[in-house]
Amino acid sequence: MNRARVLITALAVVLGLAVTAIAQEKPQEKPKETPAVNVTGAWDMSVEAPQGTMALTVAFKQEGEKLTGTQSSQMGDTALEGSVKGTDIAFVVVINMQGQDLTITYTGKIDGDAMSGTIEFGGYGSSTWTAQKRK
């Protein structure tokens, strides 16, 4: 009987420790998933330039985080390169202004079929831009 009592006491202690350990474990939180963003397609863009609001069309092609495409304006078509990381977008366009290459850098946030951000005019100031995806 002594042996049975010791065995029952030992089992009770082990069971109590197991229950305590399980109760203390916190459920693991799932990492928040960023919805997949794909900006491939045509976008109507508005840029606040020093000369006033300028309307552009941009055709993006996104492969993973890599972004390529063409910016079309009254000055012609210009290639662009950049990236999309989560909802962040960044791309560069190099235009020739009176024989000088001017690097224009766009950075911004994507929100569904809209995006907006800041544009840097190659050391000549900055402004804002917005874009809406064509349906």
**Overall fold of domain 41-133:** Lipocalin (2.40.128)
Residues 41 and 25: their CA atoms lie apart, in Å, by 47
* SS3 state at 34: coil
On the question of pLDDT at 97 being above 90, the answer is no
pLDDT per position as a tens digit, 40-89:
999 999 998 778 899 999 999 999 999 999 999 888 999 999 999 999 99
Domain ranges of the chain: 41-133
What's this model's pTM, rounded to 2 decimal places? 0.73
